Amino acid sequence: MLKTLSVKNYVLIDSLEIDFPEGLIIITGQTGAGKSILLGALSLVMGAKADASAIAEGADSCVVEAVFGCSENDTATRELLEANDLEWDGGSLIVRRVVYRSGRSRSFINDCPVQLQLLSSVTSRLIDIHSQHQSLQLCDRSFQLSVLDHFAGNSGLLAEYRTLWNEHQKLVSERKELRLKLERLSAEKDYNEAQFQQLDEARLIEGELEELETEQRQLSNVEEIKETLCRAESSLEPERDDCTSPSMALKECSNMLSRLREYLPEAEELSSRLDSVRIELDDIASEISSLNSGMDASPERLEQVEDRLGLLYDLMKKHNCRTIEELVETRERYSSYLFDSGDLQDRLDAADARISELEKQLDKSAEALSTRRAGAAGPLGKAVTDSLAFLELDRAVFEIRLAPVQTGPDGRDAVSFLFTSTGRNAVDVSRCASGGEISRIMLSLKALMAGLTAMPTLIFDEIDTGVSGSVAAKMGNMICRMGRSMQVFAITHLPQVAAQGDAHYVVEKKTEGEGNDARTLSHIRELGSEERVFEVARLLSGASLSDEAVANARALLAESGR
């Protein structure tokens, strides 16, 4: 139940904190006093869309906080909180919403920040607001089906069905994508095979291009290379007898220095260094000779290298690649296309098999839903008809008709609410019910649903619109009976309903301040017993209170035991 509501800087509410008891709570007030503002604030804390225009003038933000008391038996709410790492705290929930000038808002449960979706999920289990425009839901097919399912106790079965339906729809969508991919791959199969074949036959080797380019440069310049190597070789090993080779010169120099070691110790080290240089020089000469002898001027090999390079360059240009490594990746990609077609076909076959299995399960589940709906339609219609008879629609008949439709997320049944106030020829409720009759039908349905869903708090915003007299009194009696098992708020203009409440609050507008500083603000306060008499009298006679209206008010309250 709703224990406390605190509002700050919301529209015309400057600051408000009010406690509410159990049972039936009546809220009245002049038209425009701010009853809708109070409901707006409560809707905000339940997850309604945030609007910066709701922030009071001169304030940077507005805050709405509600304290709820939950029953220990409310395991569904407790599990929802614990699943989101929120404390149960003995069943006491503090729900807060803060809206900023930027239009952004923040939500809290027990002082922990939460997503708006979670806030809405939690509060929807604690309180239900029936506003005036919601009577139009009576003509909505989804609402009608929801009412029947609640009455039939189909929540578990419907949840299982929707799980199957969602998986089925997901797989149907996936199957469509798989078929499109397979069709595309099939259309491109010959092309992909040709591209892969060409790249595969090229026998690509990573690093090959650089080696071939180096070899091509050598073979193209082999004569110049050999000539240079020969000159280098001759300079190290002269063929003329009158020329001393560098190696011989170094050897002679080393020997001369070696003979000086007895007189000049440093000469021995220099001699050793010259020997090292001579050995390195001989090794270089040997390698130059080896390079020269191994350099083969082969036109055939040059042609082979250039042909291979030409092939690689053409493939790189064709596939927009800069390296052999990128060509290899391209080859593997075409290979994967060819492999994917087989893999996709396996996945498509698996999807087909699962879809076929799901369709059998959906058919069985939908049949079970239809059977339970058909079984509940008669009792629900009778229950509403009996309730309408109590509300002085003695000849009214309320029926529920089921019709088969294409399988969808709610099964394969369409529900129609039929009504007649004369006892014959019941037709669709949207075509025949007056405003007062719709109010009575909605109250009857809400009374039934409240008992079935164990909703802790229910708010009626002028559900009694369009009725008066003894009918209004009986609607008050029905709402009062609901208040014995749950907390019920009734915003009303009817004295017969107002007299039934366990507690009575009035919403008023007051002007505070003077001149340019004057502000009109809305307030809500609980009425004492004598104040309540005069408020009920005001509902009876209007602004001008007569002695007769006061006497009638006392009689109404006494009759209700208030």
Do residues 366 and 406 make contact, with C-beta atoms less than 8 angstroms apart?
no
Do residues 10 and 62 make contact, with C-beta atoms less than 8 angstroms apart?
yes
Q: Is the pLDDT of residue 18 over 80?
A: yes
- The phi, psi pair for 199, rounded to 5°, reads -70, -35
For residue 186, the model assigns a pLDDT of 67
Q: CA–CA separation, 452 vs 146, rounded Å?
A: 12
DSSP assignment of 464-505: TTT--HHHHHHHHHHHHHHTTTSEEEEE-S-HHHHTT-SEEE
Q: What is the pLDDT of residues 385-432, one digit of tens each?
A: 998 988 888 889 999 999 999 999 999 999 999 999 888 888 888 787
What is the pLDDT of the chain when averaged over all its residues?
A: 85
The 3-state DSSP class for residue 125 equals coil
Average pLDDT value for residue range 526-532: 91
**Nearest to residue 400, comparing CAs of 366, 361, 465, 444?**
444
Q: CA–CA separation, 442 vs 462, rounded Å?
A: 12
Q: Is the pLDDT of residue 317 over 60?
A: yes
E strands along 70-195, which residues? 92-100, 105-109, 112-114, 127-130
Torsion sign across C-alpha atoms 368, 371, 376, 377? positive
Torsion sign across C-alpha atoms 207, 210, 216, 222? negative
**Nearest to residue 415, comparing CAs of 460, 445, 454, 452?**
445
Q: CA–CA separation, 148 vs 162, rounded Å?
A: 17
Q: Is the pLDDT of residue 101 over 80?
A: yes
**Angular region, 336: left φ>0, alpha ψ -120 to 50, beta rest:** alpha
Q: What is the model's pTM? A: 0.61
Range name among 96-110, 170-184, 289-303, 378-392 with the lowest pLDDT average:
289-303
- The phi, psi pair for 50, rounded to 5°, reads -75, 140
Q: Is the pLDDT of residue 133 over 60?
A: no
Q: CA–CA separation, 161 vs 474, rounded Å?
A: 40
Cα separations in angstroms, 186 against 178, 192, 198, 350, 420: 12, 10, 19, 19, 62
Average pLDDT value for residue range 62-74: 87
For residue 454, the model assigns a pLDDT of 65
- The phi, psi pair for 202, rounded to 5°, reads -70, -15
Average pLDDT value for residue range 346-371: 92
Q: Is the pLDDT of residue 9 over 80?
A: yes
For residue 212, the model assigns a pLDDT of 87
- The phi, psi pair for 525, rounded to 5°, reads -145, 155
Burial status of residue 459 (CB atoms within 10 A of its CB: 0-12, 13-18, 19 or more): buried
Q: CA–CA separation, 123 vs 2, rounded Å?
A: 10
Residue 216: which pLDDT band, with cuts at 50, 70 and 90?
Answer: confident
Q: Is the pLDDT of residue 76 over 70?
A: yes
For residue 241, the model assigns a pLDDT of 60
Buried b (16+ CB within 10 A) or exposed e, 405-415: eebeebbbbbb
Q: Is the pLDDT of residue 38 over 80?
A: yes
For residue 341, the model assigns a pLDDT of 67
Percentage of residues in the chain having pLDDT higher than 90:
23
Q: Is the pLDDT of residue 552 over 70?
A: yes
Q: Beta strand 61-69 with 2-10: parallel, antiparallel or unpaired? A: antiparallel
Residue 106: which pLDDT band, with cuts at 50, 70 and 90?
Answer: very high
Q: Is the pLDDT of residue 457 over 60?
A: yes
Q: What is the pLDDT of residues 472-524, one digit of tens each?
A: 778 778 888 888 888 889 888 888 888 888 999 999 888 877 777 778 888 88
Percentage of residues in the chain having pLDDT higher than 70:
93
Q: Is the pLDDT of residue 24 over 80?
A: yes
Average pLDDT value for residue range 377-384: 93
Q: CA–CA separation, 90 vs 109, rounded Å?
A: 14
Please give the residue that has the higher pLDDT: either 351 or 237.
Answer: 351
For residue 134, the model assigns a pLDDT of 55
**Angular region, 179: left φ>0, alpha ψ -120 to 50, beta rest:** alpha
Average pLDDT value for residue range 180-187: 74
Average pLDDT value for residue range 34-53: 85
Residue 527: which pLDDT band, with cuts at 50, 70 and 90?
Answer: very high
